[in-house]
Structure 1
Amino acid sequence: MHTEPVHAPDLSQRSTAQLVRDVGEQLSRLVRTEVRLAQIELRSKGKQAGVGAALISAGGVLGLLGGAMLIATAVLALNIVLPAWLAALIVAVALLAVAGVAALVGRSRLKRSSAALPESLESIKQDYRELGKALKR
């Protein structure tokens, strides 16, 4: 990108109107250049964020597959001492029990968190009540 020099050597020979026009043009050029630079930076950061998100997603999928393999390993390990169908049933019941407990704990925490008003909201209500009392006097 080519830019013109900011200072011309013959500034004393130029009129005030010309100088003001030059300042406006230079300011406009500076803003356009800064906007282009910001776009380039955002594209670069966006690409980096996209790659990061893709890697996190890949890690999540691979982690899920690893968990599934551990479950299969548990079934196969139980299959050594039990019939295959019984080993699979035991692992499935254990997984469903853990899922049920997690859901119940999550539900109770969610109820507890939504029932309590934030302190800032309670403070606003108190201010409103005090303002109403002050206006009645």
Structure 2
Amino acid sequence: MFELIPHDDIEQDLERLDVINPVIVDQVAALIQQLMDDPQLVDDLLRNGFGGEPWRPARGAIFNVRTWGDAQRAGLNLWAIRDFELSRQGFEFRIVYAVFPRCEKIYILAIIERAWDYDLSHPTSRRIVASYRALEEEL
């Protein structure tokens, strides 16, 4: 069974988002807590395409899951969650996480606006990759 671990890096994301809109922080924090409390939801984080789309969600889905294609092609096991409730409210954010199957750990590495567009050269992407590499060394 995989363990979900929020990385220290998300604190700076949450602080930045709190200035933009505290509702976003509350929603993201609630989703992370829900994930940590429900092993089935953690398992769903390993299913690319889980949850459907916000305009056509799977029955009962509160988020969807996608691999981060460019990162995967670069050898990084990075994924992203889209929270449907935030999307319905007009807030397009992603929760980016790393999956380490060998030790059955999932680390939440960032909470970022969708506008970053998954560009690996973006400063936030570079931060995520650096954290991923550091975890790889540790684990």
> TM class by shorter-chain length?
under 0.3
- Give TM-score, length-normalised by structure 1: 0.20
Q: Which has the larger share of strand?
A: 2
Instruction: Give the number of the structure with larger relative contact order, counting CA–CA contacts within 8 Å between residues 6 or more apart.
Output: 2
